[in-house]
Amino acid sequence: MTHPIVPLFGLGTFRLKEQAVIDSVSTALSLGYRAIDTAQIYGNEAEVGQAVAGSGVARSELFLTTKIWTDNLAQDRLIPSLKESLLKLRTDDVDLTLIHWPSPGQAVPVAEFMGALAEARRQGLTRHIGVSNFTVALMQEAIDAVGAGQIATNQIELHPYLQNRFVADFASGQGIQITSYMTLGYGKVLKDEVVQEIAAEHGVEPAQIALAWAMQLGYAVIPSSTQRKNLESNLAAQSLRLTSTDMERLAALDAGAAGRLVDPEGLAPRWD
């Protein structure tokens, strides 16, 4: 792979609001995190902006990602909504803007929102653009609209129980980076016996095994945590190297569709 656009390690902020998100982002930045993932629907962009402003970390050192909510996909809404996100985040531009979910019922055509997103980049509101929760068919439509080289990443649910290889292989064939969300399976993967055994062998935390596994496959990760000790150990997963046997044992945990945790009715596409 060429040099990845999305940093391989970053901080997630889903579910975290108000003081909880301010504390998580502030602690993470003080520990050395430099990439933060938020979204319009998380209702925390203003707090993320506040924590960044208070951190003393220069904007140029940070990689900020936000995501356009499905209500804002129409051509006349996407750019105004992104401008609002920038105001909340207290920045002139973000590093990456993603389409959070495909338009429910294809109400807004892929070519329309990808065109608007590309226009947002031309206007300097975002340095890179990408998608999230896109199937292979939807990625193909996005590629047809703007070209594969323009799409930095597809952010998808991906952890040892849902390895999403069909989507990941297609993306990598197109030079589109995969960002794994819920790499820890929202905590579920950490209770796995195999993950715990490998962690014990390396003398590390189970979460570090899941994160190192994903990064070793070339995927970006964005684990979230409200706890300093977890933020710290997740960050340290970057220096962990798993053996080929570890990687094979983890590969065998794939449960396919049964491993999927995020499948919101009315929002999720027909998954691959």
Ligand X SMILES: NC(=O)c1ccc[n+]([C@@H]2O[C@H](COP(=O)([O-])OP(=O)(O)OC[C@H]3O[C@@H](n4cnc5c(N)ncnc54)[C@H](OP(=O)(O)O)[C@@H]3O)[C@@H](O)[C@H]2O)c1
Give the catalytic positions in this structure.
42
Q: Per-residue x/- marks for ligand X, 131-170, CB under 6 A? A: -xx---------------------x---------------
Helix (H, G, I), strand (E, B) or coil at 37: strand
- Among residues 152, 183, 214, 249, the one that binds ligand X under rule CB under 6 A: 183
Q: Give the total of residues touching ligand X (CB under 6 A).
A: 28
Q: Which of residues 252-271 bind ligand X (CB under 6 A)?
A: 262
Asked if 190 is part of the footprint of ligand X (rule: CB under 6 A), the reply reads yes
Write phi, then psi, for 63 (nearest 5 degrees): -115, 105
Name the one residue in this structure whose structure tokens are 């301010």: 22
Asked if 25 is part of the footprint of ligand X (rule: CB under 6 A), the reply reads no
Which residue, among 231, 230, 66, 261, has the nearest Cα to 158 in the 3D structure? Answer: 261
User: How far apart are alpha carbons 42 and 44 in whole angstroms?
Assistant: 5
- Binding range to ligand X, per CB under 6 A, among 44-52, 145-153, 183-191, 193-201: 183-191
* Cross-strand partners of 94: 126
Asked if 207 is part of the footprint of ligand X (rule: CB under 6 A), the reply reads yes
- Among residues 33, 113, 181, 219, the one that binds ligand X under rule CB under 6 A: 181
Question: Are 208 and 184 contacting, i.e. CB atoms less than 8 angstroms apart?
Answer: no
From the CB of residue 159, how many other CB atoms can be counted at a distance below 10 Å?
30
User: How far apart are alpha carbons 207 and 209 in whole angstroms?
Assistant: 5
| Residue sitting closest to ligand X (CB) | 12
Reading the block at residue 190, the tokens are 């950490």
Q: Which of residues 4-23 bind ligand X (CB under 6 A)?
A: 12-14
Which residue, among 168, 164, 212, 174, has the nearest Cα to 9 in the 3D structure? Answer: 212
Residue 33 CB, shortest distance to ligand X, in Å, is 12
Residue 205 CB, shortest distance to ligand X, in Å, is 5
Which residues contact ligand X (rule: CB under 6 A)? 12-14, 37, 100, 132-133, 155, 181-187, 190, 205, 207, 222-227, 230, 233-234, 262
